[in-house]
Amino acid sequence: MEYNKKTGKWESKYWHPTLTTDAMVFEFDKEDGSLQVPLIKRGKAKPGEIPTFEGYWATPGGFVLKNMLSGSCGFINKNNINNYVLNRE
């Protein structure tokens, strides 16, 4: 959010009220019997953004946009991320 000096109000570029979702997807590896969870690695913040959790692993998800079903948000976000990897650490 940014403070607008002209209006004296805090403003956001996001639709309000805001709602975020995260997707938890589990994969069972038949070869070694392990349970795996696909994660994304958070990238660098864009100029002017707060560098929150850069380089940390997270579940796919994001903001639910207007006229979007909340259950589809994590799926759409996963498919839009270039560095979607499976964390095998």
* Dihedral angle, C-alpha 55, 60, 61, 67, nearest 10 °: 140
What pLDDT digit, counting tens, does each position of 15-33 carry? 777 788 777 778 888 899 9
What pLDDT digit, counting tens, does each position of 43-62 carry? 888 888 888 888 999 887 77
Q: Provide the percentage of residues in the chain whose pLDDT is more than 70.
A: 76
DSSP for the chain, please give it: -EEETTTTEEE-SS-SS--EEE----EE-TTT--EE-EEEE--PPPTTS--TTTT-EE-SEEEPPTT--GGGHHHHHHHT-TTEEE---
